[in-house]
Amino acid sequence: MGQARFEAPDFYRPGGKYGLLPFHFMQFTPDTKLVVNEVGEHLLLSNSDFDTFITHQLDQGSNLYFDLKAKHFLFDSGSPVPIHLLAIKYRTKKSFLAGFTKLHIFVVTLRCEHSCPYCQVSRVSIDKSRYDMAPETASRALEFVFRSRAHEIKIEFQGGEPLLNFERIRQIVEEAEVLNTSARKQLEFVVCSNLALLTDEMLEFFRKHHVLVSTSLDGPASVHNINRPRPGGNSYELAIKGIHRVQEVLGKERVSALMTTTRHSLRYPREIVNEYVANGFCSIFLRPISPYGFAARTRRATGYTIEQFLDFYKQALDYILELNRSGIFFVELYARLLLTRILTPFPTGYVDLQSPAGAGIGVAVYNYDGDVYATDESRMLAEMGDKKFRLGNVHADSYEQVFGGEFLRTVTASSCVESMPGCADCAFQSFCGADPVHNYATQGDIMGHRPTSEFHKRNFAIIKHLLTIYHSDPIAKEIFWSWVRNAPLYGSQETSQ
């Protein structure tokens, strides 16, 4: 119960020394150190403040002391609050693990009428029986999908060009909907198509069954058609026509596009972004080429150094920020993904950058022949002859054998940035993730070797770039927040400072 008089502030302040809680740090600029706690909250400290802090000499009534305490970099009493808050936020950050595999990719055919040199997998083949998924394989794979305990299930159709086997898409969607009448999951479908073969009948089916469309758009015609050759050289024209048709019939928010950066793209960051804006998109995902499939073989023609890619990425990001400054809400999706991790307590559902990696436990791929792979990249690797990440086959193996096997356990255990050499002590650890398949494909080893890893170089550089902008450019900071919130800025005069 209350007392008769009021106590002074010192009465409530703990006496004695403070202790440090676990955190990562790095020299961010010559004058400042970045400190990041276990759940991704960060502070920039001057070198001298940092030294005072870690040598236990901070004034316990100073603002800096309070800042570090409120973000759980230090503790000064027996209070369970710092551990409670860290634990609950750690659970939140790792909540993507709950429910097990959420993304299920169906490779309904390997055939494609495009012949993109950077393609990760495809067969320009008319031999239907050889590279199309059979109806019974689709049904069996669906049984696996519905064995996952995840409440949210996303079924993604890939290829090849999945529309070449539209009958299988139809079958899978309809069967999944029937299975879901009892499973009652939050079910979502996405078809990843170049849209060249899109018909009204297909569109009507997508509309009726709420199928989302993801397509490829590499930039203006001059870039796109060089990157994505097909008979007639009209990939761009067909993609644009398809995009507009889908926007019209399904709605603007039901179609998204991915771009792949080739050597040819590097010179056109603005043109590529403009192409997206002009076609009604509110976002772009600036992707490097994956070192798989045909892309690995054609690397000399299409490839570039990681430095070249980063240069391209930064130019494009700069331009995108410029657009946002002028009032156009337009998001770079990879930046948004990383910023969400940096600025919020929430995880992201992106399977290619998680810890432990999403391979198998976040995503599974059902290949046309019934083979199950841990990631999309794993089956691309398999098409190159290396079936290292093949988890089993829907006909030959049980769900338990495929998803509970020793191999997947090993991959998962070996893909935690918390323990991986070079990642374990990285200040960006809680923003980043692991990609064991990428490591294996490029470095011959699941763990990988950070100092020579392009995956590491790219993510490290982009995270550092985003943090630098965030802390030096007040307007860009607000734009970044608007991306995280996924809503336009409130009006330029309302930005803080």
Identify the H or E element spanning 35: strand 32-37
Closest CA to 344 of 42, 44, 58, 60: 42
State which of residues 52, 77, 180, 214 lies at the interface with other proteins (CB under 8 A).
77
Q: Near other proteins by CB under 8 A, which window of 20-28, 277-285, 302-310, 343-351?
A: 343-351
Q: Near other proteins by CB under 8 A, which window of 69-77, 122-130, 148-156, 385-393?
A: 69-77
Residues near 93 by Cβ (< 8 Å), separated by ≥ 6?
39, 40, 345, 346, 347, 430
Q: Near other proteins by CB under 8 A, which window of 60-68, 93-101, 186-194, 261-269?
A: 60-68
Of 161 and 478, nearer to other proteins (C-beta) is 478
Q: Near other proteins by CB under 8 A, which window of 190-198, 220-228, 331-339, 479-487?
A: 479-487
Q: Near other proteins by CB under 8 A, which window of 80-88, 305-313, 366-374, 414-422?
A: 80-88
State which of residues 21, 26, 44, 85 lies at the interface with other proteins (CB under 8 A).
85
| Count of residues that interact with other proteins, criterion CB under 8 A | 41
Other residues' Cβ atoms within 10 Å of the Cβ of residue 140:
15
State which of residues 81, 178, 328, 396 lies at the interface with other proteins (CB under 8 A).
81
Is the C-alpha dihedral spanning 204, 207, 210, 211 positive or negative? positive
- The Cα–Cα gap between 359 and 146 comes to 18
Is the C-alpha dihedral spanning 286, 288, 289, 292 positive or negative? negative
By CB under 8 A, residue 2 contacts other proteins: yes
Q: Is 322 exposed, middle or buried (0-12, 13-18, 19+ CB in 10 A)?
A: middle
First vs last C-alpha separation in the chain: 43
- The Cα–Cα gap between 128 and 301 comes to 30
Question: Would you call the peptide bond into 242 cis, given omega within 30 degrees of 0 as the criterion?
Answer: no
State which of residues 1, 22, 129, 200 lies at the interface with other proteins (CB under 8 A).
1
By CB under 8 A, residue 111 contacts other proteins: no
Least distance (Å) between residue 44 CB and other proteins: 14
Of 10 and 127, nearer to other proteins (C-beta) is 10
Least distance (Å) between residue 486 CB and other proteins: 9
Other residues' Cβ atoms within 10 Å of the Cβ of residue 17:
9
Identify the H or E element spanning 192: strand 186-192
State which of residues 214, 247, 283, 344 lies at the interface with other proteins (CB under 8 A).
344
Q: Is there a contact between 133 and 106 (Cβ–Cβ < 8 Å)?
A: yes
By CB under 8 A, residue 278 contacts other proteins: no
By CB under 8 A, residue 15 contacts other proteins: no
Of 40 and 360, nearer to other proteins (C-beta) is 40
By CB under 8 A, residue 481 contacts other proteins: yes
- The Cα–Cα gap between 146 and 184 comes to 10
By CB under 8 A, residue 329 contacts other proteins: no
- The residue ranges that bind other proteins (CB under 8 A) are 1-3, 6-9, 11-14, 41, 63, 66-67, 69-71, 77, 79-81, 84-85, 88-89, 343-346, 478, 481-482, 484-485, 487, 490, 493-496
